[in-house]
Structure 1
Amino acid sequence: MGFPGTWMTESESMVYRVVPKCACSTIGQIMYYSDHGEFFDGDIHDAKAGIHKWALDASQGPITENVTARKSYAFTCVRNPYTRVLSSFFDKICGIQRNGRRYRGNLVPLLVQKYGIDVGGDDGKQEFDQIASFRRFLLFARDTIRWRRPMDPDIHWSAVSGHVSTFIINGGTYDNIIWTEQFNEGMQQVLNAVETPHKVDLAAIPRFNESEGHGPKRAHPVEDYFDDLSMHLMREIYKRDFDLFKYDFDNPGNKQPVGEIDLDEVHAKLGD
């Protein structure tokens, strides 16, 4: 199976397992900058050169050799399940994508028809009941993850632990797992541990949030979107994420982690 979703600098200074909706655009640009002294012109997800990606055939050999031999510092970045799934809803379900169309073509019409979700009209700019719509989306997300119906789960709302685990199962080892919520501290740890051709000044790095502006702004505090039933669904879908990455299940309003990530525990529980 190899190492899907894995990126590596051309200098092989660091290896990163991409997790969607967890600062991946910013991390990719930092990696690119650390090799070339400039940012990729555009969305780093579109880059076909200047950075190794598992999706590029020519990169698979170098990535496999590096990761299996543990030649470079390997890390990933995780995010609170409550804010991540909300972000996925507003970006992917309510938003118009970079190509000017809805995400995955017929996905939104399917959700409107089967789940009664409202997304703010054709352009996503009309007023709508965000809370009611999100809760229906969460039901859909659970159905895709639990029963793979009416479609397979999408990478943007499938569990973070699932993304993180493929790297371990196929022979990789993480040196660090950082939190989106404490990004500067975590990314500085990574940069302190590696030698890069170009020095990176984190304080001067812009945030590359490529999904920002796709969808409507969240109109309510995070906790308002989650009632008892929603929290039950969140536990069903994301229990491992809360447990392994030390997020507060009982308080959706607290996006900060509540403990330290135990790398040994992550490797043990996600490696079988």
Structure 2
Amino acid sequence: MGFPGVWMTESESVVYRVVPKCACSTIGQIMYYSDHGRFFEGDIHDADQGLHKWAQDHSQGPIEANVRAHESFAFTCVRNPYARILSSFFDKICGIQRNGNRYRGNLVPLLVQKYGIEVGGDDGTEEFDQIRSFRRFLLFARDTIRWRRPMEPDIHWSAMSGHISTFIVNGGRYDRIFWTERFDEGMQDVLDHIETPHPVDLASIPRFNESEGHGPKRAHPVEAYFDDLSMHLVYEIYKRDFELFRYDVADPSNKMPLAEIDLDEVHAKLGD
């Protein structure tokens, strides 16, 4: 299986396991800058040089050798499951993607037909009942994750623990897992542990939110989208994420973690 979703600087200063919807664009650009002294022009997900990625054949040998020997500091980043699934809905379901099309082609028409979801019209700009549509999307996300129907679960709403576990199961070990909600603190700790060809001043780094502007603006606070049933669904889908990464399942309005992440526990529970 190898190390899907793993990026590594060409200098091999640091290894990162991508978790979708968890500041991965900003992290990728910081890694790219730390090697080259400039940012990648465009979406870092499109970069096919200047950064080792497992999806590139020529990168797999260097990544595998590095990770198995634990030669570099390895990290990843997580996000509150309530905010993450909501972000996925507005970006991937309601939004027009950077290629000018809907995400995954026939996915949105399928959701409109089978789940009665509205997405703001053809261009995502019309008003619609965001709360009702999101709750219907949650049913779809649960169906994909629990029963793999009507399709396989998508990387943007499958559990973070699933992404993170592949690195451990195949022989990797994390030195740091931090929260997007405390991004500066966590990313600075990573930078403090590594030596890069170009120094990174985190305070001057812009945030690269590549999903910004794809879809309609969220009209309500996070907690407004979650009633008792949808909170139950979110816990059913992301129980392990809440427990391992210490997020508050009882209060969708509290985006901050409740306690520190225990790395030994993460490796023990996700390494099976």
Tell me which interval the TM-score lies in, with the shorter structure as reference length.
over 0.9
One-letter amino acid matched to 1:194: I
Distance 1:267 1:4 in 2: 17
One-letter amino acid matched to 2:41: D
The aligned residue for residue 64 of structure 1 is 64
How far 1:222 sits from its partner (Å)? 0.4
Distance 2:63 2:123 in 1: 41
Aligned-pair RMSD on alpha carbons?
0.3
Task: Give CA-to-partner distance per residue, 1:26-82, whole Å, 9 cap, x none.
Answer: 000000000000000110000000000000000000000000000000000000000
The aligned residue for residue 242 of structure 2 is 242
The alignment partner of 1:151 has SS state of coil
Distance 1:82 1:186 in 2: 20
Task: Give CA-to-partner distance per residue, 1:155-212, whole Å, 9 cap, x none.
Answer: 0000000000000000000000010000000000000000000000000000000000
Distance 2:81 2:126 in 1: 27
One-letter amino acid matched to 1:147: W
Distance 1:79 1:23 in 2: 9
Q: Does 1:253 align with 2:264?
A: no
The aligned residue for residue 175 of structure 1 is 175
Pairs aligned (count): 272
The alignment partner of 1:185 has SS state of helix
The aligned residue for residue 104 of structure 1 is 104
The alignment partner of 2:7 has SS state of strand
The alignment partner of 1:16 has SS state of strand
The aligned residue for residue 162 of structure 1 is 162
One-letter amino acid matched to 1:206: P
Distance 2:184 2:38 in 1: 19
How far 1:218 sits from its partner (Å)? 0.5
Distance 2:157 2:31 in 1: 25
1:73-112 alignment, distance < 5 Å: 73-112=73-112
Q: Does 1:21 align with 2:21?
A: yes
The alignment partner of 1:15 has SS state of strand
The aligned residue for residue 153 of structure 2 is 153
Per the normalisation by structure 2, the TM-score is 1.00
Distance 1:40 1:110 in 2: 35
One-letter amino acid matched to 1:128: F
Distance 2:11 2:61 in 1: 14
Share of identical aligned residues, percent?
Answer: 82
One-letter amino acid matched to 2:2: G
The alignment partner of 2:132 has SS state of helix
Q: What 5-or-longer segments of structure 2 have no aligned partner?
A: none
Q: Does 1:10 align with 2:10?
A: yes
Distance 2:87 2:235 in 1: 18
Task: Give CA-to-partner distance per residue, 1:125-164, whole Å, 9 cap, x none.
Answer: 0000000000000000000000000000000000000000
How far 1:256 sits from its partner (Å)? 0.5
One-letter amino acid matched to 2:51: I
Distance 1:54 1:152 in 2: 21
Distance 2:169 2:54 in 1: 16
Per the normalisation by structure 1, the TM-score is 1.00
